[in-house]
Amino acid sequence: MAVVEQSDTSVPTLEEVLRRAEGMLPALRERAQEAEQLRRLPDATVKDLFDTGMMRILQPKRYGGYEMDWAAHAEAARVIARACSSTAWVVSVVGAHAAILARMSKQCQDDVWGPNQDQIIATASARKEGTARKVDGGYVVNGTWRFASGVDHADWCMVPAPLEAKERGLHDAPGFMRVLMPKSDYTIEDTWFVSGVKASGSKDVHCDEVFVPDYRVMDSRATFAPNPPGVEVNPEHYLYRLEFGPYFGSSLLGPMMGAAEGAYADYREITAVREGALFGGKVAGLAQVQQRLSESAAEIKAARLMYESNNQILHERGVAGAGLTAEELVEMNRDRAFVAKLLITAVTRLVRQMGAMGLYDDNPVQRHYRDITAMGTQIAVNWDRNITPFGKHELGLGADDVGFHKSKKTN
């Protein structure tokens, strides 16, 4: 595909970003099976992502990025996921790591984007084991971390490392340090043998007595909290200034939304002309097929409206310079899990109506189904975890810890 000219000042419009995303779809469809077999993105796809600026959507302008609003990021991923969820995952979830880096110190940003502004920045946010031990001038890092999506194409990776081995929690839990390392500091362990989003290449990274200087090791919580260190050089955009958790946790929705839309479109196209394998006859003529299609269409639309509303809230609160209240956060977490549930239900219903066709690897509906199910396992859209705090809150009990707030509704 044609290379799009880039310069520090050429920030495309949202429409242009989506047009470029659309332009990639035929190639992504073509490469989808190869990508699954590679269990990482094909090099040609990574080149396309750089050429179209897809990895720059949340990159700061001072490093050649677009500094676009939240919806641009989500929408680009939604469009791409209609053809390939794994690529969308890299654009959305991995692409959001640019904003995390933008929230870190200038020196960290110079290290990464100084030599090359086309970057896939990996994070391995689940710790198998490992620590950061303080030494003179820095830390010695040891351990293994999981889920480093896109790591095969990354020059840099971040991991959360506690000072003490006994610490437990998410990447931004108290006591965790965020460690930024060049690829010479770690090895990739290929553990990504999975049933869905195979091409995200979310492998393990391993460090063995690696020295990391002080400036690339920081309090993990501070990078997600309001006014992080990076605000000194990137003061403009809300994504670099406000509490980041609500945004980062929403980065799953674009890929899931697009995967469901892709599954629906492919199902419809196939089923409109399909004849029953055993008995012949037009499958589309069956009332249950018609009804299932409508039900899934209605669910996908409901999810789309809620997804758009989520994007809008995140953007509006960002522009207003205000974080979300505890009440809004529990509601947002609830709705994200609900959107995921609607989409998974919608796609599952379709693939189950495809007969044995639904099993074949070259059936894109089957791939979308595996992908959306796999994405649905992510903690940010986990049903029980995200739905129960809202119920507690609504019934006058304190919700669990949400972001940096505690919520307590008085009835």
Partner 1 sequence: MAVQEMDTQDPFEMEAELVARARALGPQFRSSAAETEANRAVLKSNMQAVFDNQLVRFFQPKRHGGFELEWGAQFAIGREVAKHCPSTAWIVSVVGAHACFLGRMPGDVQDEVWGPNQDQLITTASVNRHGGATREKDGLRVSGQWGFSSGCDHADWAMFGVHVDGEAVPTQIVVPRSDWTIADTWHVAGMRGTGTKDLVLEDVFVPVHRTLPAGEWIAANPPGSKVNESYIYSVPFLPFVGTSLLGPLFGAAEGAYQDYCAITSKRTGTMTGEAVAENAPVQLRVAESAAELHAAEVIMTQQIAYLRDAGRNGTTIPATKRLEINRDRAFVARLCVQSTERLVGMMGAMGIFEGNPVQRHHRDVMAMATQIGVNWDRNMLSYGKWALGLPTGDAQVDQELGRAVS
Q: Indicate the DSSP class of residue 2.
A: P
3-state SS of 256-314?
HHHHHHHHHHHHHHHHHHCECCCCCCEHHHCHHHHHHHHHHHHHHHHHHHHHHHHHHHH
Write down the residue that tokens 């502004």 correspond to.
117
According to CB under 8 A, which residues from 338 to 357 bind partner 1? 338, 342
Residue 124 or 342 having the CB closest to partner 1: 342
Q: Least CB distance from residue 289 to partner 1, whole Å?
A: 7
For residue 163, state whether it binds partner 1 (rule: CB under 8 A). no
| Among the listed residues 26, 235, 396, 398, the single contact to partner 1 using CB under 8 A | 396
| Among the listed residues 319, 391, 398, 401, the single contact to partner 1 using CB under 8 A | 391
The one-letter code for the residue type at 305 is: L
Residue 38 or 306 having the CB closest to partner 1: 306
For residues 396 and 411, the answer to whether their CB atoms sit within 8 Å is yes
Write down the residue that tokens 């969820």 correspond to.
85
For residue 261, state whether it binds partner 1 (rule: CB under 8 A). no
Residue 155 or 400 having the CB closest to partner 1: 400
| Among the listed residues 43, 214, 395, 406, the single contact to partner 1 using CB under 8 A | 395
Where does this chain touch partner 1 (CB under 8 A) — which range of 70-78, 122-130, 343-351, 391-399?
391-399
Residue 143 or 254 having the CB closest to partner 1: 254
- On the CB side of 149, how many CA atoms lie within 13 Å of its CA? 22
Write down the residue that tokens 């007595």 correspond to.
209
Residues in the chain: 411
The whole-angstrom distance between residue 132's C-alpha and the CA centroid of its chain comes to 26
According to CB under 8 A, which residues from 359 to 388 bind partner 1? 384, 387-388
Q: Least CB distance from residue 365 to partner 1, whole Å?
A: 15
- State whether residue 399 is helix, strand or coil: coil
Size of the site for partner 1 (CB under 8 A): 40
Closest alpha carbon to 62 in 110, 96, 6, 107: 110
Q: Indicate the DSSP class of residue 186.
A: -
| Among the listed residues 55, 293, 344, 381, the single contact to partner 1 using CB under 8 A | 293
Where does this chain touch partner 1 (CB under 8 A) — which range of 94-102, 192-200, 219-227, 291-299?
291-299
Where does this chain touch partner 1 (CB under 8 A) — which range of 89-97, 116-124, 245-253, 265-273?
265-273
Phi, psi dihedral angles at 5 (to 5 degrees): -65, 130
Hey, what are 314's tokens? 């995140």
For residue 280, state whether it binds partner 1 (rule: CB under 8 A). no
For residue 277, state whether it binds partner 1 (rule: CB under 8 A). no
Q: Least CB distance from residue 73 to partner 1, whole Å?
A: 21
Category of 263 on φ-ψ map: left (φ > 0), alpha (ψ -120 to 50) or beta:
alpha
Write down the residue that tokens 């063995």 correspond to.
208
The whole-angstrom distance between residue 58's C-alpha and the CA centroid of its chain comes to 13
* x-or-dash string of contact with partner 1, 131-150, rule CB under 8 A: --------------------
Q: Indicate the DSSP class of residue 374.
A: H
Residue 16 or 327 having the CB closest to partner 1: 327
| Among the listed residues 47, 133, 183, 268, the single contact to partner 1 using CB under 8 A | 268
The runs of H, that is alpha helices, within 136-204 are none
For residue 305, state whether it binds partner 1 (rule: CB under 8 A). yes
| Among the listed residues 152, 204, 335, 371, the single contact to partner 1 using CB under 8 A | 335
Q: What is the largest CA-CA distance in the chain?
A: 76
Q: Least CB distance from residue 17 to partner 1, whole Å?
A: 24
Category of 387 on φ-ψ map: left (φ > 0), alpha (ψ -120 to 50) or beta:
alpha
Residue 13 or 309 having the CB closest to partner 1: 309
Phi, psi dihedral angles at 190 (to 5 degrees): -80, 95
Q: At what angle do helices 70-81 and 287-319 cross, to 10 degrees?
A: 160
Q: Least CB distance from residue 388 to partner 1, whole Å?
A: 5
Residue 185 or 335 having the CB closest to partner 1: 335
Report how far residue 311's alpha carbon sits from residue 16's, in angstroms, rounded to the nearest whole number.
Answer: 19
- The residues of the shown chain that bind partner 1, judged by CB under 8 A, are 268, 271-272, 284-285, 287, 289-295, 297-299, 301-303, 305-306, 309, 331, 334-335, 337-338, 342, 384, 387-392, 394-397, 411
